[in-house]
């Protein structure tokens, strides 16, 4: 059974790289445009738009982030009945 809502480790790395790349590019573009127009507000708007775009591309578990699922060990059925914590005898440590 594959969990369709979780990213794998390589997918997390890819999402982080995409997120940081979009933020960096939008910050550079925003700074240059804001410097040219002498309007700091445009810099903030462009960086905020880059942040929104990066969130849209990286926060949902898109299929491109789930290409390498983890292989879990199969469930092992034990033949013995599990004891309740109250039924267990406390372990005694050897005194040195």
6 occurs within a structural domain:
no
Domain assignment of residue 54, yes or no = yes
Residue 48 belongs to what domain range?
36-64
**Using one digit for the tens of pLDDT, what is the confidence trace for 28-51?**
999 999 999 999 999 999 999 999
0.85 exceeded by the pTM? no
Tell how many helices (H) and how many strands (E) occur in the chain: 2, 0
Query: How far is 39 from 35, CA to CA, in rounded Å?
Result: 7
Sites in the chain below the pLDDT cut of 50? 1
- Cα-Cα-Cα-Cα torsion 34, 36, 38, 44, nearest 10 degrees, comes to 0
Q: Are 88 and 30 in contact (CB under 8 A)?
A: no
Distance separating alpha carbons of residues 59 and 5, to the nearest angstrom: 11
44 located within any domain: yes
Number of domains in the chain: 1
Tell me the longest C-alpha to C-alpha distance in the chain.
78
The pLDDT, as a whole number, for residue 27 is 97
Q: What's residue 69's pLDDT? A: 78
């Amino acid at each position: 059974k594959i969990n369709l809502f979780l990213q794998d480790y390589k997918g997390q790395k890819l999402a982080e790289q995409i997120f940081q790349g979009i933020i960096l590019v939008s910050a550079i573009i925003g700074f240059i445009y804001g410097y040219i127009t002498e309007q700091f507000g445009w810099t903030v708007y462009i960086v905020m738009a880059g942040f929104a775009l990066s969130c849209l591309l990286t926060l949902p578990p898109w299929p491109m982030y789930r290409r390498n699922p983890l292989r879990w060990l199969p469930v092992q059925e034990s033949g013995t009945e599990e004891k309740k914590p109250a039924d267990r005898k406390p372990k005694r440590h050897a005194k040195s």
